[in-house]
Chains A and B, each alone.
Chain A
Amino acid sequence: MNNAMSRIMGLTSNEAIAYAVKQCNVDVVAAYPITPQTIMVEVISEYVYNGEMDAEFICVESEHSAMSACIGASLTGARVFTATASQGLALMHEMLYIASGLRCPIVMGVANRALSAPINIHGDHSDMMGSRDCGWIQIYVENAQEAYDWIIQAFKIAEDPRVLLPISVNIDGFTLSHSMERVVVLEDDDVSKFLPPRKPLITIDPVNPITVGALCLPDYYFEVKFQQMQAMKEAYNVIREVNKEYKDLFGRRYGFVETYGMEDAEAAVVCLGSAAGTAKAVAREMRREGKKVGVIKPWVYRQFPDEEINKVLGEVKVLAVLDKACSFGAPFNALCSDIIATLYRYGRDVKVFNCLYGLGGRDITPSDFRSIFEEALEAAKTGKVKEYMKFVGVRE
């Protein structure tokens, strides 16, 4: 680590994101409050009101309008942030595709929450997974520190001319959004040095009129979408570069995946977000008992880091993949499908089973993890998977 100064603050993930947004010199925030993200925009609106943040805070009447305003602002060349959750993200859905299609590098904090019905305010990944294919880069974090660090990196990744794609940084509703943790924050100047003002490629400008969002028929649409696919692939390199620069400057190492115990793990859990913390704690306990278990936590979910995941598999025989959102009627849920596709692509002979957990914010406990690890170890020993789809803690 170089001589960058840092301070320690007690922040929830909502507050950590708001603080990072302030330091990132964001120009425009258009957002609508929704549990469990509310505090994120409340704190930002306070910063703007107090004059601590020189930004335009647009109060809108819905999330659909919030994203629409963000798109317009982003097209003028502004640095733009918004935040939402659950029904709010669902209401934004069509605009999410327009943000990515028009290549607006908007950064959005999502405090993941279950979708209605029945109505529920607690954390699961149904909201973001429901918009999984919207063309946004998607990051899932484990704690407030990661939320803070990824927001700062997200602007740099999104605004890179090789990428120009929006990014969502996902925090588990309540589990992270409302839990206060120790966060090492950077000095404003260091953030400004790492993240200089945005340099847009093309902007809307009355003096040099252009048309954005013109009709694009079968003869050209595919090519424009292909540009987006290429940008996602480019993001792979840019994320790597930005992570490296962040580590060199500030000492904290990020990447596509974080692993625990994968050097010699025979059985491992793959999961997104805060559950990985519990998984690692249980894995540590079990490794002390001589059980070779590990954890793989993808930080980046889109662009999916298949190459990186293949690299960290080591000698693992069984993966228990945890999903916190249900793909009704699908053979496996979203993350598990991606993991299976990765194994297929790299010709890996690894057994997989899928655990659906935590719907509507139900806790996944250390003992739940212990039994998942035990089952994975058993499958590693026998070479047979007992159940391909498990539902953690659901009552009959």
Chain B
Amino acid sequence: MSEEKKMGWKSLPIGGYLLEPGSAMKYKTGDWRAFRPVVDQGRCINCLLCWIYCPDAAIIRLEKYVDVNYEYCKGCGICANECPVKCITMVEEKR
């Protein structure tokens, strides 16, 4: 994911207050990930179990298979664990 420019102490609102409601979407949690789920889309049967189980709503539904929103996916691996055809593999992130 792209490196966001993070605010310094001078520009951050006092005391870590969040002055804009509903701003959690702006907090990209993808960089917490140690392992990334990679979907073999040719083998995906589009059952959407991963979409149901994903605690971060980071599975993207496409017409015939799924994809992953890497901006938010924290790499928990639940999707890979639940996938009935084992088409999702967890690949170590290299930084």
Q: Which residues of A contact B (CB under 8 A)?
A: 101-103, 164, 201-202, 209-214, 216, 219-221, 223-224, 226-227, 230
Whether A212 pairs with B12 at a CB distance below 8 angstroms is no
Q: Assess A202 versus B19: contact at CB under 8 Å? Given A103-B14, A164-B14, A227-B14.
A: yes
Q: What are 28 sample pairs from A and B whose C-beta atoms fall under 8 A apart?
A: A101-B16, A103-B14, A164-B15, A201-B14, A202-B13, A202-B19, A210-B18, A211-B17, A211-B18, A211-B21, A212-B17, A212-B18, A214-B16, A219-B6, A220-B6, A220-B7, A220-B12, A220-B16, A223-B7, A223-B9, A224-B9, A224-B12, A224-B15, A224-B16, A227-B12, A227-B14, A227-B15, A230-B9
Q: A161 CA to B14 CA in the complex, in Å?
A: 10
**Chain A CB within 8 A of B8 CB:** yes
Interface residues on B, range: 10 to 19
Which chain B residues lie closer than 8 Å to A220 at the CB level?
6-7, 12, 16
Docked CA distance A224–B17 (Å): 9
B48 to chain A, nearest CB (A): 30
For the complex, give the distance between the alpha carbons of A220 and B23 in Å: 15
Q: Apart from A102-B15, A220-B7, A220-B16, list 5 A-B contacts with CB within 8 A.
A: A103-B14, A210-B19, A220-B6, A224-B9, A224-B12
For A227, the chain B residues whose CB sits under 8 A away are: 9, 12, 14-15
Whole-angstrom distance between the Cβ of B23 and the nearest chain A Cβ:
8
Q: In the bound complex, what is the Cα–Cα distance between A164 and B13 (angstroms)?
A: 13
Chain A residue nearest in CB terms to B11: A223
The number of A-B residue pairs with CB atoms under 8 Å apart is: 51
Q: Which B residue sits closest to A211, measured CB to CB?
A: B18
Of A202, A209, A211, A214, the residue contacting B14 (CB under 8 A) is A202
A216 to chain B: which residues have CB within 8 Å?
Answer: 16
Report how far A210 CA is from B21 CA in the complex, Å: 6
A209 touching B21 in the complex, CB below 8 Å, given contacts A223-B7, A223-B9, A227-B9? yes
* B15 and A214 contact, CB distance less than 8 A: no
Residues on A with beta carbons closer than 8 Å to the beta carbon of B19: 202, 210
Q: A213 to B18: give the CA distance in the assembly, Å.
A: 8
In the complex, which residues of chain A have a beta carbon less than 8 angstroms from the beta carbon of B12?
220, 223-224, 227
| Cα-based distance from A211 to B16 in the complex (angstroms) | 9
| A228 to B, closest residue via Cβ | B15
The list of the 7 closest CB pairs from A to B, nearest first, reads: A211-B18, A223-B9, A224-B16, A103-B15, A226-B9, A209-B21, A216-B16
Q: Chain A contacts of B18 at CB under 8 A?
A: 210-212, 214
Contacts A220-B6, A224-B9 given; indicate if A210 touches B15 (C-beta within 8 A): no
B6, B15, B18: most-surrounded residue (chain A CB, <10 A): B15
Taken together as a complex, chains A and B put the C-alpha atoms of A221 and B15 apart, in Å, by 10
In the bound complex, do residue B15 and residue A101 qualify as a contact, i.e. CB atoms below 8 Å apart? yes
Closest partner residue, chain B, to A213 (CB atom) = B16
In angstroms, Cα B7 to Cα A202, docked, is: 19
- Shortest distance between the CB of B65 and any CB in chain A (Å): 33
Give CA–CA (A213, B16) in the complex, Å: 7
Pick from B6, B8, B15, B23: contact of A212, CB under 8 Å = B15
> Which residues of chain B from 8 to 52 have a CB within 8 Å of any chain A CB?
8-9, 12-21, 23
Q: How far is the CB of B78 from chain A (nearest CB, A)?
A: 21
* Neighbouring B residues of A210 by C-beta, 8 Å: 17-21
On chain B, the residues within 8 Å of A226 by CB distance are 9
Most buried by B among A103, A201, A210: A210
B69 to A: closest C-beta gap in Å: 20
Instruction: Find chain A residues with CB under 8 A from B16 CB.
Output: 101, 213-214, 216, 220-221, 224
Across the two chains, which residue of chain A brings its CB closest to B16?
Answer: A224
Determine how close the nearest CB of chain B comes to the CB of A201; give it in whole angstroms: 7
Residue on B nearest A164 in the bound complex, by CB: B14
The chain A residue sitting closest to B22, CB to CB, is: A209
